[in-house]
Every structure is written in C-alpha cells, then in structure tokens.
Amino acid sequence: MDALLTSEDRAFREEVRAFLAEKLTPELARAARRSTSVFHHPDVSQPWQKILHEKGWVAPDWPVQFGGTGWSDMQRYIFARECALANAPSLAPQGLKMVAPVIMHYGTPEQQAYYLPRILSGEDYWCQGFSEPGAGSDLASLKLRADSDGDHYVLNGSKIWTTHAQFANRMFALVRTSSEGKPQAGITFLLLDMDTPGLTVKPIYTIPGDHDFNQVFFDNVRVPKANRLGEENDGWSVAKYLLTFERGGKYSPGLTAHLSMLKKAAARTGWDQLPGNAERIAAEEIGIQALMAMEMKSMREPSQGPAAATRASMLKILGTEASQRLDLLALDIAGGEAGLETEDGLEDLLATALPRYLNNRASSIYAGSNEIQRDILAKAIIDMR
C-alpha cells in the first residue's frame, strides 16, 4: 500500500497518527482489543464517536453537505487502516453506515435535517429490524404487519437477532403493508422510536454468554406515516440500497491489524517456528493484500447499481471468511498461552481468541448468508452470458 501513497497521503497519515496518539486513550484502546462482539459496546464506541465528532472526522464516507470530511478515497482508506492498527473502537454501523445513506437518498428534506445531525453526534443509536423468526436469508417472507390507520401504521409481529436493540432509541425496519402480488412488492421501510408503547425487547444470549442479540415484539405499535422512507410497498428497493452499504464495507484494514497482532503473538510464543505455520501466516497475508486491492479498486467505481451490488457480495464473502480464518489462526496460536503477560496487548488477543471465534461464526450469516451472496454472484455471471 505504501507504494501507492503520494506525499500528500503520507502527510495525511501522519496527521491521523498524531490525532490517534493524542486522543485515543489507553483505556479505550484496551476495551476495543478485548471486545469479542461483532459491534463494540456503546460504553466503548460512543465516547470515541464523541471525540471524532468534535474533530469533524466521524463520517468520512458521508457527502460534505451532510457533515462528511471531503477526503479522497485513499484518505478514507488510510484513516480506516490507522484506526484499526491503533485499536480504535469501531463505531456502531447501523446509524452512520447503514440507515444514514438511505436517509440521504430516500429521505425528505425534513427527515434529513432531523435524523442526520443526531446520527453524527451519537444522540440517536440505531438498530436494524429486518430478520424475523421465519424470515432470515429469505427476507422477502417477512410477516410483521403494518396496517394503515389514518396517519399511522399499526404494527403487530416480531423481529429477531436485533443487534443492540437493548441500547437503541431508534430502529429502521421492514414491514408488511400488502400481501398482494410478489412478496417483495408489499414491503415498506419505516423509521421508528424504540420508546413507542407496545414495543418490547427481550434478550437472546449467545454461546459465549454475550447479550448482543434480541427479539423485539410489536403489539399494536403505532408509527407515523411521516416516518416512512420511500413509497409504501417499495421498501424492498430501499432495503437493497441499504444492503449494498452493509455488505460492501472495508474489511482489510481490520484484518491487517488483526494479522499484525497474530504475527507478533506467533513470534512471541514460537508458534511460527513449527512446520507449516509460517506458510499459513503468509497465505493469510497474501489473501488480505488481494482483498485490499479489490476494495481500493471498488472505491474508484460507482457506489450503486447492479455492478456495485455484485462487488458488495464478493467483498462480503472474502472479508468475512478471511476474518473467520484469522479467528482459527488465533485459536491455534493461543493454545496454552492465554495467560501470556505482555505490554503490547497480546495477552488480550490470546485471552479473547475463543469468544471472538464463537461470535464471529455469525459473520458469514448476517447481512445475507454467504451462500446467498454466492447465488447473487452466480446469477450475475449467468446474466452476463
């Protein structure tokens, strides 16, 4: 990557490093290292979001008109990489990276003026209401009813696997407003307040004992129609737009940082001296470099349309499966060394290897399972013939 940097890029990298050295506290960095969840706890992510917001760096991918930085593609990549290498907490993506672009594209001026500043500041913490007990990868089969009643929809049903719903004050959700025609044709996209009467959040505990997921129940929950994004019964189009952002993220900065720590741990424990292990590390490094090249190429191409959706599926497969391989690598390196005492964070890496592995098994399922992504890629190839 260094060979691609201009003198301006290198100067920007030094600016980012200086900022991180000054503002990223050891406590926040250690909390981020010890996190084993898909998303960091709000006690970790929200203080860091406040620091970034004060600097004006909280939303590098947003257009300047809505509060973005105006950085180049390379600058955004440098920032993501340096944050990962410094163990900066990741910010909750449901607001900044998922619903915000949808509000920018489909929202009314009033919706944009109300929601976007609150997302930037962290005042609103969002969760995603897509999956249901009978509608996961086959999302079009969702059944959460939204019946029209004057200026409101009345919601009845449930959502499941709702990450951080216990912390959220907002949800974006797909609801069933019609049962006529194709299943996709009767879906509507809503923004709703989690404090609305009739809405109940119940925890789902995972194998490591974490509480990230929830089931959310709706019992005659009234949502103003003014909270709809896009047209009634056209929520499937809105959801597809959103999923491009959810699936097509930058995986390689975090993977690079993780592998860097694993290489240090392998050298410290002598694991890399055992037959075949150095080659295994090298193979993962080559794969991550290839993924980085694909991500950087993707940044220079249109962010929407059929080609962008196909790229997002490809990056989702490669990124999540590389992450799972690194989790396996961490387990093998950890072995009997989970009590290793160091001053560079390696003990955190090794001590969290197992819960991180267990949590991250979901990465190839959420945002559309990797099997579904392969179906999308296969269809795109067939359609090209």
CB 213 within 8 A of CB 204: yes
pLDDT tens, residue by residue, 219-261: 999 999 999 999 999 999 999 888 777 555 578 888 998 899 8
CB 145 within 8 A of CB 156: yes
Residue 368 pLDDT grade (very low, low, confident, very high; cuts 50, 70, 90): confident
- Most confidently modeled range among 152-161, 265-274, 342-351: 152-161
The Cα–Cα gap between 57 and 70 comes to: 10
Q: Which residue has the higher pLDDT, 309 or 199?
A: 199
Residues of the chain with CATH 2.40.110.10: 125-235
Which amino acid appears at position 300 of this protein? R
pLDDT above 80 (res 4): no
Of 189, 198, 192, 201, nearest in space to 218 by CA: 198
pLDDT score at 339 = 47
Find tokens 């060979």 and name the residue: 3
CB 328 within 8 A of CB 10: no
Residues of the chain with CATH 1.10.540.10: 2-91
Instruction: Tell me which fold the domain 2-91 belongs to.
Output: Butyryl-Coa Dehydrogenase, subunit A; domain 1 (1.10.540)
pLDDT score at 149 = 97
The residue annotated as part of the active site, out of 246, 284, 295, 347, is 246
pLDDT tens, residue by residue, 110-164: 999 999 999 999 999 999 999 999 887 788 899 999 999 999 999 999 999 999 9
Question: Would you call 258 helix, strand, or coil by DSSP?
Answer: helix
Mean pLDDT value of segment 25-30: 94
pLDDT tens, residue by residue, 47-85: 999 999 999 999 999 999 999 999 998 899 899 999 999
Tokens of 29: 């960095």
pLDDT tens, residue by residue, 34-53: 888 778 899 999 999 999 99
Residues of the chain with CATH 1.20.140.10: 248-384
Whether 285 is catalytic is: no
Q: Give 191's Cβ-side CA count (13 Å radius).
A: 25
pLDDT tens, residue by residue, 278-327: 999 999 999 999 998 888 877 766 666 677 778 888 888 999 999 999 99
Beta strand pairing status for 170-176 and 187-193? antiparallel
- How many residues belong to the chain? 385
pLDDT score at 206 = 83
CATH architecture of 248-384: Up-down Bundle (1.20)
Residue 348 pLDDT grade (very low, low, confident, very high; cuts 50, 70, 90): confident
The residues, ordered by sequence, that sit 6+ positions from 345 with a Cβ below 8 Å of its Cβ are: 29, 30, 33, 87, 261
Which CATH code fits 125-235?
A: 2.40.110.10
Which amino acid appears at position 299 of this protein? M
- CB < 8 Å & 24+ apart, contacts of 165-168: 165/127, 165/194, 165/201, 165/214, 165/216, 166/201, 166/203, 166/211, 166/214, 167/42, 167/125, 167/127, 168/94, 168/125, 168/126, 168/127, 168/194
